[in-house]
Amino acid sequence: MKSNSFNKNWPGLIQAYKEWLPVNENTPIITLQEGGTPLIPITSISHLIGKDVKVYAKYDGLNPTGSFKDRGMTMAISKAKENGCEAIICASTGNTSASAAAYAKRAKMRAFVLIPDGFVAHGKLAQALVYGAEVLAIKGNFDCALNIVQELANQYPITLVNSVNPFRLEGQKTAAFEIIESLGEAPDWLCIPMGNAGNISAYWMGFEEYFKAGKAKKRPKMIGFQASGSAPLVSNKIIKDPKTIATAIRIGNPVNREKALNVKEKSNGEFLDVTDKEIIDAYKLLGKEEGIFCEPASAASVAGLLKYKKKIPNKATIVCVLTGNGLKDPDCATKNNDAIFYSNLNPDIKTVINKLGF
Ligand code: F0G
């Protein structure tokens, strides 16, 4: 099945890839026509690296709720509906809760979401509220919220839709299919931000499946990036009090640790860290050089590529996953930019001409 963003009749990823997914004729397909996102050449980044490399952004911030979570959620909610579930629950740094709420409501279910109070970007919180989730902001971080929802899902008939739900990863693996279809081959490197490390595991699953089916001749080296103040997979420790401006990946004890370590080993990959400053520099660069507005966590993939460019082989094809849309976090954007912005101006042409320097 061909997947691409110029297919005007794109039906959503379950329809597009049903033979690769655990669905059957009884599965009600709950979709917002997610997936089919563009793979955009980011030539300014290629030029900064040199070595004749080709760098692309898989812009998953263009999914219906603005993040890659929709790929997993269409599967998780469809399967929950198939199994007669009436309510779902998740812990979230923001994107999972937005996506879970949208798909749950579409499936006529209740959506309970636990978020770390004060550490969820405003766009994401706004989405959960508008989609009609029941939002519980706790005085604790994501790891703490995840412990609570796992316990609740064990005790009550509520489906957990965090990335421990295997259907989430099944949906998310389709991004790897799309990349192979767009490039005609797997890339040499796949750069991706890591939080709970579900997405890196899902991408690898997708690359493996297409490789085994002969749709690609190689598999990429999987390079996972974490923020320096929140890098449990880089340091191989649990971080009790993770800190980073990239709140989406402010996670100290990733639930998919074992899966991710396996991906690193099998793909001959690496887990590396980037500072908040490096993340913000890449975030600004993507905006002003490429016209791509992603959220800070997503920019970690490009920040890492630039930071560790010495490791890149000549002529490599590299895909950086941009996991979420920049509009999710307007506060970060207004605080971190190099824009020229005059406010409170008199509404006359002279003032404007003067400011333009004509
Ligand atoms: N990028 C963004 C924008 C995210 O929202 C997340 C995770 C990640 C990267 C990391 O993905 O956890 O699969 O390694 N966000 C989760 C949430 C934790 O609750 O929205 P991962």
Q: Residue 176: how many CA atoms within 13 Å on its side-chain side?
A: 32
Q: Where are the beta strands (DSSP E) in 97-186?
A: 110-116, 134-138, 159-160
Mean pLDDT computed over 330-353: 97
Q: Which two tokens stand for residue 303?
A: 């920040």
Q: What is the CA radius of gyration of the chain?
A: 20
Task: Give the span between the Cα atoms of 257 and 247, in whole angstroms.
Answer: 19
174-183 vs 198-212: helix axis angle to the nearest 10?
50
Strand 54-59 versus strand 39-41 pairing type: antiparallel
User: For atom 4 of ligand 1, which residue has the closest CA?
Assistant: 248
Of 71, 160, 183, 176, which is closest to residue 111 (Cα–Cα)?
A: 160
In sequence order, the 6+-apart residues with CB closer than 8 A to the CB of 320 are 42, 45, 55, 56, 57, 58, 191, 192, 301, 302, 305
Instruction: Give 7's pLDDT tier (boundaries 50, 70, 90).
Output: low
First to last CA, the chain: 55
Instruction: Give 3's pLDDT tier (boundaries 50, 70, 90).
Output: very low
The pLDDT of residue 1 is 41
Measure 248 CA to ligand 1 centroid, in angstroms. Answer: 5
The pLDDT of residue 6 is 53
Task: Give the span between the Cα atoms of 53 and 327, in whole angstroms.
Answer: 29
311-321 in b/e form (b: 16+ CB < 10 A) is: ebeeebebbbb
Residues 262-286 pLDDT 10s: 999 999 999 999 999 999 999 999 9
Task: Give the span between the Cα atoms of 161 and 74, in whole angstroms.
Answer: 11
Q: Which amino acid is at 54?
A: K
The pLDDT of residue 8 is 72
Residues 98-123 pLDDT 10s: 999 999 999 999 999 999 999 999 99
Which residues line the pocket of ligand 1, CB cutoff 6 A? Answer: 67, 69, 92-96, 163, 193-199, 248-249, 295, 297-298, 323-324
pLDDT beyond 60 at 4 = no
Share of the chain above pLDDT 70, in %: 98
Q: What distances in angstroms separate CA 323 from CA 95, 112, 117, 151, 200, one per listed residue?
A: 10, 23, 22, 28, 11
pLDDT beyond 70 at 9 = yes
Residues 45-64 pLDDT 10s: 999 999 999 999 999 999 99
The pLDDT of residue 289 is 98
Strand 87-91 versus strand 110-116 pairing type: parallel
Task: Give the span between the Cα atoms of 156 and 212, in whole angstroms.
Answer: 39
Is 123 within 8 Å of 97 (Cβ atoms)? no
Q: Which amino acid is at 276?
A: D
Is 102 within 8 Å of 65 (Cβ atoms)? yes
Q: Tell me which of 298 and 2 has the higher pLDDT.
A: 298
The pLDDT of residue 77 is 98
Average pLDDT, the chain: 97
Instruction: Give 319's pLDDT tier (boundaries 50, 70, 90).
Output: very high
Residues 109-162 pLDDT 10s: 999 999 999 999 999 999 999 999 999 999 999 999 999 999 999 999 999 999
User: Is this prediction's pTM over 0.75?
Assistant: yes
Measure 185 CA to ligand 1 centroid, in angstroms. Answer: 26
The pLDDT of residue 2 is 44
Phi, psi of 215 (to 5 degrees): -85, -10
CA 5 from chain center: how many Å?
18
CB count, 10 Å around CB of 310? 7
Mutate to test the pocket of ligand 1, among 59, 92, 93, 138 (most ligand atoms within 8 A of CB): 93
Measure 195 CA to ligand 1 centroid, in angstroms. Answer: 5
